[in-house]
């Protein structure tokens, strides 16, 4: 671990020298790349340098424990307790900072929620989940922009797709992908029987142009009149857009905006995200992965969580975590579920690093 840290410190010092070069300002792209790497290493280097300082102070106090002066020996013992505790804290922090950062963590996401088994009840729960993620996004200061919806007569969602933009959205929500199962008594159930329904959630990192190469000739773009409540709100123009990517067969549509131009721009963002995810899925299938790598990868067929309403209990099956704070979580406090997942997967990555 310390050999690695010395390499990191040397690279950090090299970056300091390069960033101080006045000629670098003439190359903004290179400057931005180096500055980003510098910022990424800064916390680790600072923690390592403090670790070495604390280590030197511990050695000094160990010597002072042998001093002839009783007062000095007592003071050295007291300081040693604090220093050893800080030493341990810094060691753990350094290990955390050494975990390779997921390059997708900083990305915005495409959130797709679809009702599965359970009919209208599944659609209503899809609406509950979207409200939960919408509140969570608001709590973090993220922007959420609905792309497409398919609303049932009861006010549920057969499907809802939204773009969420903000600081490290993917890093927070990447573990939400999979099957969310709900157990509750539907409002239409007269005998009080508990029904089980399911909703699938997909979390796709937004793709940049350099990551997905789309040939315009491969696209079939159709326009149509968007649906709505009718009456004075009915859309009288063909503003909705459907884009088909011929090579992959991926089809996306957007009708949320009144402007055809805006709907097309949104649909293209969705298409790029889905094509990037399709490529990532093919890469995952092409290599052998152990169970630890497969857990939480975003497989939509994986049952990840159960929401039991009669017992106000939520269970995450991947880490066998249970909480009864259902009301707070459904009101947007999703960190109560996400933080234990992050801690678990960080611990698994630390095992792989063998530090």
Residue ranges and CATH numbers for the domains of the chain are 2-98 (1.20.58), 109-207+295-351 (3.30.70.1660), 216-284 (3.30.160.20)
- 216-247: pLDDT as tens digits: 899 999 988 766 544 334 455 678 899 999 99
pLDDT-wise least confident of 115-119, 290-294, 326-330, 351-355: 290-294
- Between helices 2-19 and 28-64, what is the axis angle to 10°? 130
Residue 220, burial from CB neighbour count under 10 angstroms (0-12, 13-18, 19+): exposed
Q: Is the dihedral of CA 67, 73, 75, 79 positive or negative?
A: positive
Distance, in Å, from the CA atom of 151 to the CA atom of 111, rounded to the nearest integer, reads 16
Q: What number is the average pLDDT over the span 159-187?
A: 93
Quote the Cα angle for 125-129-130, to 5°.
115
Short-list 44, 39, 32, CA closest to 8? 44
Given a contact cutoff of 8 angstroms between Cβ atoms, the answer to whether 113 and 129 are in contact is yes
Buried/exposed 325-353: b ≥16 CB within 10 Å, e otherwise? ebeebbebbbeebbebbeebbeeebeeee
Residue identified by tokens 């630890």 is 292
Q: In the structure, what pLDDT confidence band is assigned to residue 99 with cuts at 50, 70 and 90?
A: confident
Distance, in Å, from the CA atom of 39 to the CA atom of 12, rounded to the nearest integer, reads 9
Residue identified by tokens 């549509």 is 253
φ, ψ at 14 (rounded to 5°): -65, -40
Mean pLDDT of the chain: 86
Given a contact cutoff of 8 angstroms between Cβ atoms, the answer to whether 145 and 263 are in contact is no
Bridge partners (DSSP) listed for residue 242: 222, 253
φ, ψ at 203 (rounded to 5°): -125, 105
pTM here is 0.70
Q: What number is the average pLDDT over the span 37-56?
A: 91
Quote the Cα angle for 326-330-336, to 5°.
65
């Amino acid at each position: 671990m310390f050999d690695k840290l010395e390499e990191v410190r040397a690279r950090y010092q090299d970056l300091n020298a390069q960033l101080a070069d006045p000629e670098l300002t003439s190359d903004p792209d290179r400057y931005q790349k180096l500055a980003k790497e510098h910022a990424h290493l800064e916390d680790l280097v600072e923690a390592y340098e403090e670790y070495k300082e604390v280590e030197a102070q511990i050695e000094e106090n160990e010597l002072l424990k042998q001093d002839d002066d009783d007062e000095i020996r007592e003071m050295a013992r007291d300081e040693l307790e604090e220093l050893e505790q800080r030493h341990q804290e810094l060691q753990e922090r350094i290990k955390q900072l050494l975990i390779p950062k997921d390059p997708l963590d900083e990305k915005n996401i495409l959130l797709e929620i679809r009702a599965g088994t359970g009919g209208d009840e599944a659609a209503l729960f899809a609406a509950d989940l979207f409200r939960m993620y919408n509140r969570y996004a608001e709590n973090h200061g993220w922007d959420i922009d609905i792309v497409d919806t398919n609303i049932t007569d009861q006010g549920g969602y057969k499907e809802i797709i939204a773009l969420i933009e903000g600081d490290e959205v993917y890093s927070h929500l990447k573990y939400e992908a999979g099957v969310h199962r709900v157990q509750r008594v539907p409002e239409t159930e007269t005998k009080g029987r508990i029904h089980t329904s399911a909703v699938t959630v997909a979390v796709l990192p937004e793709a940049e142009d350099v990551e997905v190469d789309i040939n315009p000739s491969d696209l079939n773009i159709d326009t149509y009149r968007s649906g709505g409540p009718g009456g004075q709100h009915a859309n009288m123009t063909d503003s909705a857009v459907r884009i088909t990517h011929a090579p992959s067969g991926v089809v996306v549509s957007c009708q949320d905006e009144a402007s055809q131009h805006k709907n097309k721009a949104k649909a293209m963002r969705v298409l790029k995200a889905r094509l990037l995810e399709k490529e990532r899925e093919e890469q995952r299938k092409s290599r052998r992965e152990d169970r630890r790598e497969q857990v939480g990868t975003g497989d939509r067929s994986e049952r990840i969580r159960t929401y039991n309403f009669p017992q106000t209990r939520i269970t995450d099956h991947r880490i066998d975590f249970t909480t009864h704070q259902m009301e707070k979580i459904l009101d947007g406090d999703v960190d109560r579920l996400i933080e234990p997942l992050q801690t678990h997967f960080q611990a698994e990555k630390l095992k792989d690093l063998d530090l």
